[in-house]
């Protein structure tokens, strides 16, 4: 159960003292530069849908991502910030808590790079072929595009390409946001089950994260339709 559920949220980002909780009744202004992630930032998502690759029943639960310091060097031997992910997931008849830690770096333009990750038991470590890959480009705009081929120490393989396809105002439980609409495809062995998938995402650089993601499996593969929506967030 832990291994399967951990795979669900591996790509796929607890509040610290002094955090201010936000609910966006008035949309924060859209910017083209991703806001710098700081210690104590937190985002809470609901997850719902179906993935026949991993469960005969519905997929549901809550995911909380929290940023913190990490004095450990990443596999790329650079100083990194940690994004801790804690989830409670229901996969058909199975339910359980999951913990993951990603290592990320933001460059001077705000782009977010992922240098690896591990689960709560420290037996799963990711080592991309290039040593790191871009999670989110910055600055964002009509021509922004990013992607990577991935190779994990566990033997998994994958690739993804994402592009900005426009701007959109979207309402989720956390409020209404002006976002960049992102779309693209992925082919991998692990996330929501093996096979090709498309991702549509609504990214708000002013809060340093997505407010909504929707994954759909290829017509030729197992049925996959999973949605993540931002329920709450806290920025330091």
Cross-strand partners of 91: 59, 94
Structure tokens, 135: 């999670």
Q: Does 78 reside within a domain? A: yes
Q: How sure is the predictor about 178, in pLDDT bands with cuts at 50, 70 and 90?
A: very high
Q: How sure is the predictor about 16, in pLDDT bands with cuts at 50, 70 and 90?
A: very low
DSSP state, residue 139: S
What CATH number corresponds to the domain at position 93? Answer: 2.40.360
User: Range with the lowest mean pLDDT among 3-12, 36-45, 46-55?
Assistant: 3-12
State residue 125's pLDDT score.
46
Structure tokens, 15: 């509040």
Q: Could you tell me which residue, 231 or 71, shows the higher pLDDT? A: 231
The residue segments making up the domain with residue 134 are 2-16+30-235
Strands (E), 107-236: 112-119, 133-136, 145-151, 157-172, 175-188, 195-204, 209-217, 224-235
State residue 137's pLDDT score.
92
Q: Are 82 and 73 in contact (CB under 8 A)?
A: no
Number of structural domains found in the chain:
1
Judge whether residue 204 has pLDDT over 80: yes
Q: Does 113 reside within a domain? A: yes
State residue 154's pLDDT score.
54
State residue 113's pLDDT score.
84
State residue 3's pLDDT score.
44
Q: Considering only CA atoms, which of 61, 44, 66, 68 is closest in space to residue 97?
A: 61
Q: Does 21 reside within a domain? A: no
Q: Could you tell me which residue, 174 or 27, shows the higher pLDDT? A: 174
Q: Does 43 reside within a domain? A: yes
For the chain, report the end-to-end CA distance as a whole number of angstroms.
34
Q: How sure is the predictor about 128, in pLDDT bands with cuts at 50, 70 and 90?
A: very low
Pairwise CA distance, residues 120 & 72, whole Å? 15
Q: Does 22 reside within a domain? A: no
Q: Does 148 reside within a domain? A: yes
Q: Considering only CA atoms, which of 21, 9, 4 is closest in space to residue 87?
A: 9
Q: Does 24 reside within a domain? A: no
Pairwise CA distance, residues 179 & 175, whole Å? 12
Share of the chain above pLDDT 90, in %: 32
User: Range with the lowest mean pLDDT among 2-11, 145-154, 199-208, 222-231?
Assistant: 2-11
Judge whether residue 131 has pLDDT over 80: no
User: Range with the lowest mean pLDDT among 18-27, 53-62, 225-234?
Assistant: 18-27
Q: How many other CB atoms sit within 10 Å of the CB of residue 170?
A: 17
168-173 contacts, C-beta under 8 A, 24 or more apart: 168/202, 169/27, 170/202, 170/211, 170/212, 172/211, 172/212, 172/229, 172/230, 172/231, 173/46, 173/229, 173/230, 173/231, 173/232
Collapsing DSSP to helix, strand or coil, 198 comes out as strand
State residue 58's pLDDT score.
80
State residue 5's pLDDT score.
44
DSSP state, residue 5: H
Sign of CA dihedral 18, 21, 26, 30: positive
Place of tokens 């030729």: 220
State residue 129's pLDDT score.
41
- Single pTM value for the model: 0.79
| Angle value at C-alpha 154, between 97 and 158, nearest 5 degrees | 95
Q: Does 25 reside within a domain? A: no
């Amino acid at each position: 159960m832990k291994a399967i559920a951990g795979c669900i949220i591996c790509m796929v980002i607890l509040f610290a003292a002094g955090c201010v909780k936000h609910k966006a009744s008035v949309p924060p202004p859209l910017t083209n530069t991703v806001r710098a992630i700081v210690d104590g930032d937190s985002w809470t998502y609901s997850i719902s849908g179906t993935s026949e690759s991993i469960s005969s029943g519905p997929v549901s639960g809550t995911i909380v991502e929290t940023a913190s310091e990490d004095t450990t060097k990443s596999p790329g031997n650079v100083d990194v910030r940690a994004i801790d992910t804690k989830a409670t997931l229901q996969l058909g008849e199975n339910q359980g808590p999951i913990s993951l830690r990603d290592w990320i770096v933001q460059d001077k333009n705000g782009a977010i790079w992922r240098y690896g990750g591990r689960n709560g038991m420290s037996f799963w470590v990711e080592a991309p072929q290039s040593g790191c890959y871009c999670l989110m480009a910055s600055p964002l705009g009509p021509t922004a595009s990013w992607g990577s081929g991935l190779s994990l120490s566990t033997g998994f393989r994958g690739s993804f390409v994402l592009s900005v396809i426009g701007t959109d105002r979207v309402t989720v439980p956390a409020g209404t946001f002006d976002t960049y609409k992102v779309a693209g495809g992925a082919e991998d062995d692990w996330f929501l089950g093996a096979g090709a998938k498309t991702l549509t995402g609504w990214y708000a650089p002013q809060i340093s994260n997505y407010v909504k993601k929707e994954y759909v499996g290829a017509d030729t593969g197992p049925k996959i339709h999973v949605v993540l929506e931002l329920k709450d967030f806290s920025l330091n």
